[in-house]
Amino acid sequence: MSTAQVSPEPPAPAKSPRSGSPFARDEMIRVGAIALGLLVIVILVPAIFSLYYVDALTQVVVYAIVALGLGVLVGRVGLVSLGQAAVLAIGAWVAARLLFGSGLPFELVLLISGLITMVIGTCVGLPALRLRGLYLALITLMLAGAITVALATLNFPNGGHGFSGYNGAFVHIPAIRRPGIATSDRAYFRYSIIVAALMFLVVLGHLRSKPGRAWAAIRQSESAALAAGINTTLYKLWAFALASFVTGVAGGVLAGAQQYLYSINFQTQDSITLLAVVLMGGAYSMWGAIVAGLLLELLPAILNNIGVSPDWLTILFGIGVLQVLTTAPRGIVEQFPRDMARLYRAITGAARRSSGRSATS
């Protein structure tokens, strides 16, 4: 086994669209349903929920994008990174610096911070070309640790001058600015949903085209992929570039969402928790990224609201990792519907049996 696999079985090949048109009919229906669902979320969620939950859901959106990037690495290519929270911190740092230091439009800042993070993340990915499996995971953990230490010293920009943009003497720290069309929390939630939808589309575009097929091949067997003429080096780096790009954009969204960033909120532990929720959500499906975001950010918000310690969640994530790795490698996204289907069958089966018995008697 050349590429480390977190699951014993490769994910089922994507349902190929029916021959002829690239958009088969049921595909169109699905896209329509998702678009409609998004529209409903964008309109209804900020209107219904309290500000507390709108803020929490904005965090969910941010971490769903991060989980999406990590899902590409872990689920599609088989590269496990234990440093994605550090990559997110880099994205947030760059975005905050640009937002304080320039008058660039917010969208452009997101794009630039995505690109800069992409360059840095790809450099992190360079050792991945030589290191495999366990070694790669550990080197990303080491790099994340080093970045965390560096960030704690450098601090996040708070409107100061110089390269770091940090001024420890500030009493009144200015807030990180938001886009002009989304200054309120509710509007910013809508804005972040749109950014996230774009990121999901970018990743989907990759998965449905040449890179996606190359990644699937590399994941199954690197030597076979090489023999088939796939430039494995290029596509592995590409995966790191894509994951870092979306994570960098997520960092930008995070900077705008929190408006005040502190290095103490970015710890090495977060990278581990992140991997845990991505595995729990399901690394092989893009829906898994959304589940991961909900687990990581909405669940703590709910628990906090009802006065339960978030430490229970850490324990739950730990149990989740063990459970996913031992029995359910595809995560909640696949397991939950399967369990529900099984339950449904059990109930209908029991009903049928009892009705059959009453009919014969």
Partner 1 sequence: MNGMLGLLHLATFFPPWVDEEPFLVTGLALGGVYALSGVGLIVLFRTTGVLNLSFGAVGAFGALIAWQLINHSGLNQWLAYLVCILFAGVVTLVYGMVFGRALADRDPLVKATASLGVTLILLGIMDLLWTSSGGASRAITLPTDNHGFMVGQVTVSTTDVIALAVGVVITVTTTIFLRVSRLGTAMRAMASDREITATLGVPVARVEACAWFGCGVLAGIAGILLADLVALDATTLTFLVISSIAATLIARLSSIAVTFLAAIVIGVVESMVVPIESLTNYADATPFVLAVIALLVLSRTRALSGERQGF
String of contacts with partner 1 for each residue 38-77, x by CB under 8 A: ----------------------------------------
* Tokens describing residue 110: 């997101």
135 forms part of the interface with partner 1 (CB under 8 A): yes
C-alpha distances (whole Å) from 153 to each of 147, 166, 168, 240, 258 are 10, 10, 11, 26, 20
One of 28, 31, 134, 201 touching partner 1 (CB under 8 A): 134
* Tokens describing residue 42: 């964008």
Q: Which amino acid is at 271?
A: S
Select the span of 40-48, 126-134, 183-191, 207-215 touching partner 1 (CB under 8 A): 126-134
Distance CA 107, CA 262 (A): 23
Residue 261 near residue 96, CB atoms below 8 Å? yes
Q: How far is the CB of 145 from partner 1 (least distance, A)?
A: 4
303 forms part of the interface with partner 1 (CB under 8 A): no
Select the span of 1-9, 20-28, 52-60, 90-98 touching partner 1 (CB under 8 A): 1-9
* Tokens describing residue 26: 């049921």
122 forms part of the interface with partner 1 (CB under 8 A): no
* Tokens describing residue 345: 């069958």
Q: How far is CA 129 from the centre of its chain?
A: 23
One of 150, 204, 228, 347 touching partner 1 (CB under 8 A): 150
String of contacts with partner 1 for each residue 261-300, x by CB under 8 A: ------xxx--xx-xx--x---------------------
Distance CA 214, CA 191 (A): 33
The CA-based angle 239-242-244, given to 5 degrees, is 105
* Tokens describing residue 220: 């199954």
One of 137, 196, 216, 295 touching partner 1 (CB under 8 A): 137
**Please, which residue, 195 or 299, has the CB nearer to partner 1?**
299
Residue corresponding to tokens 């978030």: 310
Half-sphere exposure at residue 298, Cβ-oriented, CA atoms within 13 angstroms:
14
127 forms part of the interface with partner 1 (CB under 8 A): yes
One of 51, 108, 194, 322 touching partner 1 (CB under 8 A): 322
Give the residues lining the site for partner 1 (CB under 8 A): 1, 4-6, 8, 80, 127, 130-135, 137-139, 141-143, 145-146, 149-150, 152-153, 267-269, 272-273, 275-276, 279, 309, 311-322, 325-326
